[in-house]
């Protein structure tokens, strides 16, 4: 057992509380048992940043987009664009900047995690008494790529009034009970628009005397901000604002449930608030699906888009290759969806053009580059003929 082994899931409130409090510390450092304290009453600062639900000039704010700066200039907050409900139809973001401070007037005073149902917000020590210490160790690991830059960047972003959470592999692996070695990179999400985060990160590193490079600056296709040092190939941190759909261009927001609807699988909807040590499950399905035994790989999307289907199929094979060595994985809901895939799914993606196919090839290499071809196709075959043929075609193109 590892220091983040599961003790209690969100669907076991009450029944296992006594067991959780009495359980021995699994990491051997004497982690205290979970003891509920008084609920902290927090609200947004009056001089804090804009969030979804605020009203600006009579229009309700829904999120943010980004305009690539000209002439190679580094990204700044002035490149962010404010989105309202009227911006769903245009093909490009409006030329509307994001105010530095939230406008006076009506708005939801609650912080994003307080807008979730109580069952979707789990104190980390209740999930596992050793989980808070495991996360602290991860973030303070000086040997990790992010070791020297995470804390100052996170502190600066928080001081600017933005919320910030661990996303992706770190919360998924640690909450599932896997050790530190299972976390390969550090992904963050939060309420800061892309340009604002990039500006805060750059300013922090300048003030700390660190050398840095925003190698990809902000990707206009994904709004991901990647921080590199000294031009090295390994990302130190990757950040993307909370996902937001419904626009014809990339957009981010400040709503946790909306973000969960943009993710690939329920297990990747789980976020970790490293300041308050809270596990957030906006989908309300991620935590149960991470629980062993009986882990489940369930897609969030039921998209009919061939490229979306192919990308999720590749990621599904990656997780199944990794997870099936530890025991059975429930793929019933996943298989019900992939059974709908046409056998010529790969051909449908190719019809999108070379750029779409090259992106899928790059994803395949990233997810499965070190996995033997026979193992890939064997796992893919459990998801139907369309996924199996897709993987064979990708493997053939990579030769």
Q: How many CA atoms, within 13 angstroms, populate the side-chain half-sphere of residue 44?
A: 27
Residue 324 has pLDDT above 50, yes or no: yes
Task: Tell me how far apart the alpha carbons of residues 296 and 214 are, in angstroms, rounded to a whole number.
Answer: 36
Dihedral sign of CA atoms 185, 189, 194, 195 in order: negative
Q: How many CB atoms lie within 10 A of CB 39?
A: 8
pLDDT, mean over the chain: 88
- pLDDT tens figures, 78-100: 999 999 999 999 999 999 999 98
pLDDT for the residue 178? 83
Q: How many CB atoms lie within 10 A of CB 253?
A: 25
Mean pLDDT of 304-327: 92
pLDDT for the residue 398? 73
Q: How many CB atoms lie within 10 A of CB 143?
A: 5
Task: Tell me how far apart the alpha carbons of residues 172 and 314 are, in angstroms, rounded to a whole number.
Answer: 18
pLDDT for the residue 207? 77
- pLDDT tens figures, 242-255: 999 999 999 999 99
Q: Outline where 8-97 has alpha helix (H).
A: 17-22
Query: pLDDT confidence of 3, banded at 50, 70, 90?
Result: very low
Mean pLDDT of 10-29: 51
- Among 377, 172, 156, smallest CA distance to 272 is for 172
- Which carries the bigger pLDDT value, residue 227 or residue 392? 392
Mean pLDDT of 333-360: 94
* Angle, alpha carbons 93-94-100 (nearest 5°): 100
pLDDT for the residue 292? 67
Residue 10 has pLDDT above 50, yes or no: no
pLDDT for the residue 210? 60
Task: Tell me how far apart the alpha carbons of residues 378 and 358 are, in angstroms, rounded to a whole number.
Answer: 23
Residue 285 has pLDDT above 60, yes or no: yes
pLDDT for the residue 22? 34
Query: pLDDT confidence of 28, banded at 50, 70, 90?
Result: confident
Task: Tell me how far apart the alpha carbons of residues 387 and 380 are, in angstroms, rounded to a whole number.
Answer: 6
152, 208 in Cβ contact below 8 A?
Answer: yes
pLDDT for the residue 104? 84
pLDDT for the residue 4? 42
26, 145 in Cβ contact below 8 A?
Answer: no
Mean pLDDT of 356-362: 94
364's CB contacts (< 8 A; 6+ apart) are 314, 391, 394, 398
Residue 1 has pLDDT above 60, yes or no: no
Query: pLDDT confidence of 212, banded at 50, 70, 90?
Result: low
Give me the percent of the chain exceeding a pLDDT of 90.
Answer: 66
Q: Outline where 10-163 has alpha helix (H).
A: 17-22, 124-127, 131-139, 150-159
pLDDT for the residue 17? 42
Mean pLDDT of 157-181: 92
Mean pLDDT of 191-195: 97
Query: pLDDT confidence of 121, banded at 50, 70, 90?
Result: very high
Residue 21 has pLDDT above 60, yes or no: no
Query: pLDDT confidence of 16, banded at 50, 70, 90?
Result: very low
Residue 18 has pLDDT above 60, yes or no: no
pLDDT for the residue 118? 93
For the entire predicted model, the pTM comes to 0.89
Lowest average pLDDT, out of 200-209, 267-276, 353-362, goes to: 200-209
b/e burial code for range 215-245 (CB count within 10 A of at least 16 → b): ebbbbbeebbbbbbbeeeeebbbbbbbbbbe
263's CB contacts (< 8 A; 6+ apart) are 243, 269, 283, 300
152's CB contacts (< 8 A; 6+ apart) are 204, 205, 207, 208
Residue 322's Cβ-count burial label (10 Å; 0-12, 13-18, 19+) is middle
> Left, alpha or beta for 382 (phi > 0: left; psi -120 to 50: alpha)?
alpha
pLDDT for the residue 327? 83
Residue 211 CA: distances (Å) to CA of 75, 206, 225, 228: 17, 7, 17, 9
pLDDT for the residue 132? 94
pLDDT for the residue 5? 37
């Amino acid at each position: 057992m590892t220091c983040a082994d599961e003790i209690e899931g969100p669907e076991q409130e009450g029944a296992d509380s006594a067991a959780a409090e009495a359980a021995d510390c699994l990491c051997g450092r004497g982690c205290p048992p979970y003891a509920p304290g008084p609920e902290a009453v927090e609200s947004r600062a009056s001089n804090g940043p804009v969030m979804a639900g605020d009203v600006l000039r009579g229009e309700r704010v829904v999120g943010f987009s980004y305009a690539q700066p000209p002439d190679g200039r580094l990204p700044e907050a002035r490149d962010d664009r404010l989105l309202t409900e009227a911006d769903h139809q245009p093909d490009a973001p409006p030329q509307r900047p994001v105010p530095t401070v939230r406008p006076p007037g009506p708005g939801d005073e609650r912080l994003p995690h307080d807008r979730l149902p109580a069952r979707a917000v789990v104190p980390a020590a209740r999930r596992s008494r050793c989980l808070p210490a495991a996360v602290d160790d991860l973030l303070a690991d000086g040997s990790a790529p992010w070791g020297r830059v995470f804390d100052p960047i996170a502190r600066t972003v928080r001081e600017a009034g933005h919320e910030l959470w661990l996303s992706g592999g770190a919360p998924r692996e640690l909450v599932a009970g896997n050790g530190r070695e299972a976390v390969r990179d550090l992904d963050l999400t939060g309420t800061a628009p892309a340009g604002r985060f990039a500006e805060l990160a750059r300013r922090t590193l300048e003030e700390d005397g660190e050398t840095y490079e925003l190698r990809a600056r902000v990707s206009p296709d994904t709004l991901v901000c990647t921080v590199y040092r000294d031009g090295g190939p390994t990302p130190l941190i990757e950040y993307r604002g909370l996902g937001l759909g419904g626009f014809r261009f990339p957009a981010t927001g400040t709503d946790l449930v909306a973000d969960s609807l943009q993710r690939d699988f329920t297990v990747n909807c789980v976020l970790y608030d490293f300041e308050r040590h809270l596990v957030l499950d906006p989908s309300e399905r991620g935590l149960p699906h991470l629980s062993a035994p009986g882990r489940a790989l369930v897609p969030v999307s039921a998209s009919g888009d061939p490229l979306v289907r192919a990308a999720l199929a590749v990621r599904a094979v990656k997780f199944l290759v990794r997870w099936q060595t530890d025991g059975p994985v429930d793929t019933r809901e996943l298989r019900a969806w992939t059974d709908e895939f046409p056998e010529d799914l790969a051909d449908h993606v190719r019809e999108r053009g070379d750029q779409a196919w090259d992106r899928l090839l790059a994803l395949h290499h990233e997810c499965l580059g070190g996995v033997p071809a026979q193992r890939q196709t064997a796992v893919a075959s459990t998801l139907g003929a369309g996924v199996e043929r897709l993987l064979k075609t990708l493997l053939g193109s990579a030769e």
